[in-house]
A and B are shown apart, each in its own frame.
Chain A
Amino acid sequence: MEELILTSIAIGIKSVIFIIGMFLLAAYLTWIERKFAGHVQQRPGPLHVGWHGLLQPIADALKVLTKEDIVPSGVDKVLFYLASLLAFVPAIMILAVVPFGQPVNLFGFEIKPYITDLNVGLILALAFGSISIYGVIFAGWASNSKYPMIGGLRKAAVLIGYEVALGFAMVGPIMQAGTFSLKGIVEAQQGLWFIIPNILGFVVILFAILAETGRTPFDVQEAEAELVSGYNTEYSAMKFGLFPLAEWYIATFVLSAIAVILFFGGWNGPHIFGPISPFVWFFLKLAMMFMFFLWVHWTLPRYRVDQITELAWKVMLPLSLLNILVVAIWIMIFG
């Protein structure tokens, strides 16, 4: 009994730390994105609030929190409120199963840099990812407006296509590691990273993450030239702020983390940074991944929604199935 209470408290504290950390991180991811976009576009980006705009995210957060929260008349109130939460909460819940490093011993305590290590971790992550679709659909429906509805339905069509491809693409690493636990998958990559036989799966995952997080070649749900702002047109203040925060930053970050874990060996790497070297490696890989998405986002034009779904079903799904075949043969040969 005592142990249960202690574990609960420990997990509670850890969760709070993770959530607060994720909020701060997401805020600063916006800063990174704005700086990155700025330099891609040959302008400096945020520059005036703090040193090189370092306090800009805080200012933005204050602004978005203190803005008047307008709820249009004629909306379905329950779903309207629920939608912004449904978009945000599942995205941050995926964090529960993402390990950021090996357990370390600090002052005699064993600190695990993850909330929990479930043996169905990957499936849980996929499930939470799927729930966030409801947020978008509810937002589109409850707004009682035409642009959000079209945006929400577009996003749903895209997500359904890519969820399938995403799921199949993850099968390769799972087969090699023999476990759904993300920690287990990382530990299985002590030698060779799973990118080697799973290169096709990795390509599919890249596309799927772009589509899931609504980044540029696939950002049809908020194509601002067509749908004003897509499914979040009627939202304002923090309810509006949660959508991009969840979609563009937290989801991109978490899915990048999962991709790193699946294909690039997680925190594995030479121990050249001493005891913190797993963290350094993990975040280095993660940052590279995140930057890659930003780079794509700020370069390419966007597809049309039917072209995206076509790509999902006709190219990505067969590719992910082919990947399974390749990995199966790999396992048969190399064991």
Chain B
Amino acid sequence: MLWTKQDDIAFIGDNFESLKFVDNEKLPYFEINQNELLPFLKEIKENPNLQFKMFIDFTVADYPLHKPRFQGVYFLYSLILKKRICIKTWAENERLPSLTGLWKGAKWAEREAYDMFGIQFEGHENLVRMFMWESYQYYPLRKDFPIEGIKDTYLPSLNEKPGSMPSHDYEEYHTAIPTMEDLEETEKKRIQKKAQIVLNWGPLHPGTHGTIWFLFDLEGEKVQNCDIILGQLHRGVEKIAENVTYTQFIPYTDRMDYISAICSNVAYVNAVEKLLNVEPTEKAKWIRTMLCELQRINSHLLWLGTYALDLGALTIFLYTFREREKIMDIIEGIAGIRLNSSYIRIGGVRLDLPEGALDVINHFIKDFPTKLEEYETILTKNRVWLKRNVGVGIIEEEDVYNYGLTGAVARASGVAYDIRMIQPTDKYDEVDFEIPLGTVGDSYDRYLVRMEEMRQSLNIVKQCVEKLEKLKDDKHIATDNPYVLPTLDETFISIESMVKDFNLRIYGEQAPEGEIYLSGENPRGELGFYIISKGEGRPYRTRIRSGAFYNLQIFPELIKGRTIADAVVLLGSLDPVVGETDR
């Protein structure tokens, strides 16, 4: 079990009076009073026998009827115990102590909690909105905030004359939108001009690969200060999750990290399955593992192409897209949709593998290593490539823990943190693969790690295909389970299945009361889902721990003192996807 229990920290338990342990089966957690929180966290971080050094996540849950109303939830990871810990604390007077003194990675997570719940953090250096703009008055993730938003802004129609009969049901009041003044204020709050000019990158800029808004305070071409304004792609996915059933939420996970949709699907569905105690079929597990790894190669190919494109090597982009297209075709053949496939279902996968799918994948496995060689010949030993990458953006091992960096970024700094190893889901415990580790932690190491990861992924795909060839006649979805939607054929044949289908679709999966935190190894780091269920068909709260969000957080720190040209390299090597950072 990956979660820390009472026994593990018993020897410091006496020092903290209010420390309580709640032994839930799915998510055992500790509860502590707010005034003892910081000393407790400091103790478990610095105690040599515990070393909960790595910051995983912080979030808040809203219980309007409870007093105090908000509960903060912390997730940490211990390096020597190889276990996570979950700590909860109630926010008295809607205030919490800031963790930024202990973990720098808490900075954005606390800003997000402030933005979404309106909780004040004592000791936070710059507590401003994370996704919404300044002067926005509401806190969207509070339970009393309606899903359709609060329509308080008067926006008259441009083509309707006053007094005339409206041609359609145009509402004059809308939810708030930021004005230019709001955006200017937002910008001012983030960064104070100290050097020569403030260069804006974004919200739409070719270098940002999405809608991130970078602010660089420049002295010549040297960046003196930098901040990032997120939220241009904020769709309130966590709010949506509270209002749809577990199955209905699957397509939204596609649209978070749209580059690696299937990995997000799998991470979410695994969490839900664990909450519902659903066991997917063997075949489904193998298919998931295989598709996850194909998707990882796909995602890394896109990363490689755009990374090289940013650095001026235009040709690599088209070379990688040539191979990416093949994976896209494979995914399209299996799932029916190329990008946002929503292929994974609770209890299995949506469709069985089509005939010949494994042959196509086999061909790809044979073909791909030579292409990988081709990219490496052009880039790996290229002098220009080395000059641009080596020594740029060195991330120390301590910073990995401090900022909660995961994925290839952490592994390039020599931290062997891979969810596939420490908490294997699906069939990762039965396949054989290695975790490539970097030594220096610069952009070049991140490049090498990702290149090697593609090889390892291919190796996993190969093992999955071998296994799947033997499981040809198995079932792809465990429809016997009461929580699993029946297949279309079953619905048409038996009345029980139809009733079950109807119930699940209308009322949702009535999950037992409880909580779960489960994460998957996305190409961009740990994608964790923290789901609180109150025994209804919809989750009470879904928190999404996004790897890209935490990985991006170190960017302003790394770019300080470097040139604008290095910003491209750094951003490319951190590889965020805005759909996931903003959610």
Contacts and interface: CB of A to CB of B under 8 A. Distances in A.
Contacts of B309: 225
A161 to B, nearest CB: 15
A150 interface: yes
Interface stretch (A195-203, A278-286, A293-301): A293-301
Contacts of B207: 225-226
B337 interface: no
Given A146-B197, A301-B311, A41 B318 contact: yes
B572 to A, nearest CB: 8
A134 to B, nearest CB: 21
Interface residues of A, number: 29
B102 interface: no
A302 B312 contact: yes
Contact of B387 (A42, A150, A216, A304): A304
A301 B563 contact: no
B233 interface: no
Interface in B362-400: 378-379, 382, 384-385, 387-388
A216 B312 contact: yes
B67 interface: no
B310 interface: yes
A48 interface: no
A223 B313 contact: no
Contacts of A147: 199
B315 A41 contact: yes
Nearest to B311: A301
Pick the most buried of B197, B200, B312, B567: most chain A CB atoms within 10 A of its CB. B312
Contacts of A150: 199, 221, 564
Given A226-B565, A303-B388, A305-B221, A42 B312 contact: no
Main DSSP-derived SS at the B contact region = helix
A298 B314 CA distance: 6
B92 interface: no
Interface string A211-248: 00000110110011111100000000000000000000
Interface in A180-219: 216-217, 219
B322 interface: yes
A327 B315 CA distance: 39
B94 interface: no
A328 to B, nearest CB: 31
A43 B318 contact: yes
Given A304-B563, A304-B565, A225 B310 contact: yes
A60 interface: no
Nearest to B569: A304
A42 B318 contact: yes
Interface in A291-321: 298-307
Pick the most buried of B221, B388, B566: most chain A CB atoms within 10 A of its CB. B221
Pick the most buried of A43, A223, A304: most chain B CB atoms within 10 A of its CB. A304
Nearest to B313: A301
Interface string B477-496: 00000000000000000000
Contact of B563 (A40, A298, A305): A305
Pick the most buried of A223, A301, A302, A305: most chain B CB atoms within 10 A of its CB. A301
8 contacts: A220-B565, A226-B564, A301-B308, A301-B379, A302-B311, A302-B384, A304-B563, A304-B565
